[in-house]
Structure 1
Amino acid sequence: MVMLKLASPRVTKEILNRYNFRPSKGMGQNFLIDYNIVNIILNAAELDPLDLAVEIGPGIGTMTREIASRAGYVLAIELDERLISILQNTLEECNNVEIIHADALKINFDRLMEERLGIFKSKTFKVIANLPYYITTPLIMHLLEDHERWDQAVIMIQKEVADRILACPGTKEYGALSVSVQYYAEPQFIAKVPKTVFWPRPEVDSAIVKLKRRRVPPVEVRDKLLLFRVIQGVFTYRRKTILNALQNTFSVNRQDLIKVLETSPIDPSRRGETLSLEEFAILADNLLALQEKIKKARL
């Protein structure tokens, strides 16, 4: 199939109609129909011929063709089996693209890329994704928590989620997602994307965000799992004071928690949404010290 641009309403609808394809609302399928947005995403990705790229949710191959023209090798991961035959057609001239029918949430990307990285003598890969709302947070955390071989990700997500990722302490958008992403990566806002550049048109606007993976976390903690348990617990009870939120999360005496907060030093009457990542790290370490003290006293 020879086509100059897939990112147009006419071409997208023609392809989908040819295959009797009906977009699934449940899967959040909204196809990009504006080449300007494709170009913004690819410029942010800074691809070169030595790069290995993973595209999550290629759809009909709108961005995939352009990624393939800039990167050395592309893995296009698509969940919807109905789109595989379309991709095989639209990408038939791209000899550096591998189409994989799989659920990105279940893929071990490091293992998948290991052999391919060796061929290109590269240590990392880049991720490009147009993510439906229902998998945005799980997939971002899957990449951040479970994989170390990716270097940066350029993702198009719902504007509301982008605001949460980029949020600062003390704002209503600030939450567990903000702190977690900022622990693992440096997030950067690239552009707002109007809903008019998709077909079918979604109900909300989107945004392009770039995540540059940190090689070294911005804070040091003795127990990373405890840090994230503190973060999750505090924001689960975000309308409560930090003291009450911690008491609902951990089986620790209230007076001991007050001492931990004062040592940190954090006012027990503050709300969790005002704490910075650095304060969460100090709090987690002091809480760990308390737990160790309690455990030692029981021996």
Structure 2
Amino acid sequence: MLEIGPGLGALTEPLLRRLNYLTAVEIDTDLQKYLAERPIAQGKLHLVAADALTLDYSQFGSQLRVVGNLPYNISTPLLLHLLRFASYIEDMHFMLQKEVVERMAAQPGTKAYGRLTVMLQYHCAVEHLFDVPPEAFDPQPKVDSAVVRLIPHRVSPFEIVSVAQLERLVASAFAMRRKTLNNNLKGIITVEQLSTLGIDGNKRPEQISIPEYVQLAKFISN
């Protein structure tokens, strides 16, 4: 199991009581020293001094289980980085800002549905497990938190397309949420081509399903 951002060990120590071995990625040298000196860590905790946003997670082998109370300010880029290693990961459990979890698990046609939704659900089954109120923390944050589970698809429910192409397409589509697909994808695909694919270009990006985005990415790639 691998923990990202162990901090002062609020999650690390309960994990070490249940595990024989835990790898933890921590960039802060003071926190590394603090964790390494904890009695419960002796012989059981392997600290990796690295930036979780740039780390090559393939080095830890396959069937990796990833957990963490993720820093809210880097959660989106970190999640998108982890997707690059989805084939090495068995599952991921994170506590995040509730608003981010709602975006991750959103359905088309909702306000929370966006770029993060499409990219995560293309790679993983996403489940909003439960909420964590501010009073569970000391000091209390000003936002609600939630725990989410991500399980990478072993057999994708979608057509396989270029992930880079899908990322570019989705970023363009959601660049201006209040605009239509025709407007946001101008110069990428024509109104006529959208119509040929059976996709209504007058819809806003949050009204387009993941299979439709995959269909668009495949068409553009060809």
TM-score, normalization by structure 2? 0.93
Percent sequence identity is 36
Contact 1:234 1:272 in 2 (8 A): yes
Q: How many residues align?
A: 222
**SS of equivalent residue, structure 1 residue 99:** strand
Superposed displacement of residue 260, structure 1:
1.4
1:153 counterpart = 2:86:
no
What is the aligned-residue RMSD (CA, Å)? 1.7
Paired position in structure 1 for 2:47: 99
CA distance, structure 2, for counterparts of residue 231 and residue 216 of structure 1: 22
Task: Provide runs of 4+ in structure 1 moved above 6 Å.
Answer: none
Paired position in structure 1 for 2:33: 85
Paired position in structure 2 for 1:202: 141
**SS of equivalent residue, structure 2 residue 2:** strand
Deviation per CA, 1:222-278, whole angstroms, max 9, x where unpaired? 433222211111001221111111006x3x5xxxx1221112101121111101101
Paired position in structure 2 for 1:66: 14
Paired position in structure 2 for 1:192: 131
- Which is higher, the Rg of structure 1 or of structure 2? 1
Pairs within 5 Å for 1:32-47? none
CA distance, structure 2, for counterparts of residue 102 and residue 236 of structure 1: 32
1:164 counterpart = 2:94:
no
Superposed displacement of residue 65, structure 1:
2.2
Alignment CA distance shift 1:230-1:93 (3 Å):
closer
* Alignment counterpart, residue 276 of structure 1, candidates 209, 213, 219: 209
Of Structure 1 and Structure 2, which has the larger fraction of its residues in helix? 1
1:234 counterpart = 2:161:
no
Query: Which ranges in structure 1 are unaligned for 5 or more consecutive residues?
Result: 1-52, 115-122, 290-299
Amino acid at match of 2:7: G
Paired position in structure 2 for 1:266: 199
**Comparing 208-217 with 167-176, which one deviates more in the overlay?**
208-217
Superposed displacement of residue 92, structure 1:
4.3
Alignment CA distance shift 1:62-1:94 (3 Å):
farther
Paired position in structure 1 for 2:164: 225
Amino acid at match of 1:90: R
CA distance, structure 1, for counterparts of residue 122 and residue 63 of structure 2: 19
Contact 2:36 2:45 in 1 (8 A): no
**SS of equivalent residue, structure 1 residue 199:** coil
Contact 1:109 1:147 in 2 (8 A): no
Contact 2:104 2:126 in 1 (8 A): yes
CA distance, structure 1, for counterparts of residue 118 and residue 126 of structure 2: 11
Alignment CA distance shift 1:87-1:224 (3 Å):
closer
* Alignment counterpart, residue 142 of structure 1, candidates 58, 71, 81: 81
Contact 1:54 1:128 in 2 (8 A): yes
Contact 1:124 1:151 in 2 (8 A): yes
CA distance, structure 2, for counterparts of residue 182 and residue 94 of structure 1: 38
CA distance, structure 2, for counterparts of residue 223 and residue 70 of structure 1: 40
Amino acid at match of 1:71: L
**SS of equivalent residue, structure 2 residue 23:** strand
Paired position in structure 2 for 1:4: none
TM-score, normalization by structure 1? 0.70
**SS of equivalent residue, structure 1 residue 188:** strand
Contact 1:61 1:91 in 2 (8 A): no
Paired position in structure 1 for 2:220: 287
